[in-house]
Amino acid sequence: MDESNLGLPFLLAPNKPHSSLTLRDYFHALEQFLLEEGGMRLAAAFRLRHSGASVRDIKEIRIRSEKHGTFYHIASIEIKVHDRTLTFATSTAVTDRGKRCLHRELDVIKLLNRLRGYGYLPGIAAAAEIPFGDSTAAVMMSEWFEDHHEWHLHEDEPGGIQRILLWDKRKGDRYLSRTEAAEVYRRCANILT
């Protein structure tokens, strides 16, 4: 990211800039989250991926802001070790409501992974409250699911009907067919029952 973009305001939610924090502050906070305490969170991430790598093996770390959502902000963390790149996700919440949601999501993911372990949900490497400006941010580091997509119920404008909108960065966003939507609901039910 170039210097001018690093000076842009950090977004509390889409189109809602923070009064003083910048993207530079956000990236710096994530860097500190990863590296503090001798890189123990990175070591936990390597164990999660069964990589056998250690903090000493790191050649490069790339932090990419992926999405600024209503409750938290998603970044991908690419770590080059040996001859491969391991990718993780961080979810960062800075508002009180976002922190509550992130803590609840963390608890639910851990519980479901412990009970079910189907591989539909990410493994959690680390979570912590970190300094962020004059307050704190809650950060959760998890597996990055390559080529998995986020979806939302969305009102189809021509028909006014709620349908599942799949967010796909590679192929473009699209509405799921009834058959595809049924499969999404079936898999969700499988996780929850």
Q: Are residues 60 and 40 in the same domain?
A: yes
pLDDT at res. 76: 94
Host domain of residue 162: 150-192
Q: Do residues 157 and 133 share a domain? A: no
Q: Comparing C-alpha atoms, which of 165, 172, 123 is closest to residue 144?
A: 123
Strand partners, 142: 89, 124
Mean pLDDT confidence for 104-132 = 87
Tokens of 192: 């929850």
Q: Is the pLDDT of residue 118 over 70?
A: no
Residue 36: give its domain's CATH number: 3.30.200.20
Q: What pLDDT is stored for residue 167 in this prediction?
A: 83
130, 169: one domain: no
How many domains in the chain? 2
163 and 91 in a common domain: no
What would the mean pLDDT of 61-68 be, rounded to a whole number?
Answer: 91
Asked if pLDDT for residue 3 goes beyond 90, the answer is no
Q: Tell me: the pLDDT tens digits for 11-42? A: 888 888 888 999 999 999 999 999 998 899 99
Residues 49, 125: one domain?
yes
Range in 88-92, 169-173, 188-192 with the lowest mean pLDDT: 188-192
Residue 129: which pLDDT band, with cuts at 50, 70 and 90? very high
- If asked whether residues 101 and 12 sit together in one domain, one would say yes
pLDDT single digits (tens) 39-49: 999 999 999 99
99 and 13 belong to one structural domain: yes
DSSP state of 171: T
Gap between the Cα atoms of 123 and 55, Å rounded: 19
Q: Are residues 186 and 117 in the same domain?
A: no
Separation of alpha carbons 131 and 135, rounded Å: 6
**pLDDT at 104 exceeding the cut of 80:** yes
Name the domain boundary from 123, 143, 163. Answer: 143
Same domain, 172 and 139: no
73 and 45 Cβ atoms separated by less than 8 Å: no
Q: Are residues 10 and 71 in the same domain?
A: yes
pLDDT tens by residue, 151-160? 888 887 777 8
**Residue 157's pLDDT is what?**
73
Same domain, 139 and 154: no
Residues 36 and 126 in one domain: yes
